[in-house]
Structure 1
């Protein structure tokens, strides 16, 4: 597990309506500059979207405080306009895409596990493993 103060990795899933895939892709090539600025101002970074078969969309970003980032974007006029335009692209979505996407649970991260494996063993850990 990561510490509560560590960067949080967030992954989510949505489904784009197959008949609107070309338009959805075009809308992201490029995204409005003011929306890009809002995403950054919200504290989201290393943000990517990946498109799979059947319109499956996987999003990923990193943030130090996802609740604060969500609140910032929920109150942003620019994000409200963007999300109002994007809502029609998704299947089975209730609400704004940025607020209603299905989050995925992280079960493995290479960096975290390598770091944990290289952490020095403390005296109390040595005593418990020696029993």
Structure 2
């Protein structure tokens, strides 16, 4: 979860309407599946992904040049104290699921 700065909401959405093809390829190649990002009107951002090994998926992306460029492009949209946006990602434990 992250908080998008209010003044950047529209631009953040626009950027995700045209994610770079090489970024999409890198995500798939490093094990990111069924990946969604949800944005509430107040800027609360929630990301969801499925992967067999979360640490491996993060590490794989960290090794790509495209991820470094994407994170640098996205950083101004958030208050991160100098950290990359993906540095705040942490897995959540599922405690309920209705199929």
TM-score by length of 2: 0.90
Give the aligned partner of residue 17 of structure 1. Answer: 5
The one-character-per-residue Cα deviations of 1:93-128 (angstroms, maximum 9, x if unpaired) are 5511112235544221235xxxxxxxxxxxxxxxxx
Give the aligned partner of residue 94 of structure 2. Answer: 106
The one-character-per-residue Cα deviations of 1:16-75 (angstroms, maximum 9, x if unpaired) are 001001110110112000000011111010000111131001110000111111111111
Tell me, in whole angstroms, the C-alpha distance in 2 between the residues paired with 1:14 and 1:93: 13
Residue 60 (1) aligns with residue 52 (2) = no
Residue 72 (1) aligns with residue 60 (2) = yes
- RMSD value, Cα: 1.6
Instruction: Point out where structure 1 has 5 or more consecutive residues left out of the alignment.
Output: 1-12, 112-131
Residue 85 (1) aligns with residue 85 (2) = no
Provide the aligned length of Structure 1 versus Structure 2: 99
1:30-41 equivalent positions in 2, closer than 5 A: 30-41=18-29
Instruction: Point out where structure 2 has 5 or more consecutive residues left out of the alignment.
Output: none
Tell me, in whole angstroms, the C-alpha distance in 2 between the residues paired with 1:108 and 1:14: 23
Give the aligned partner of residue 29 of structure 1. Answer: 17
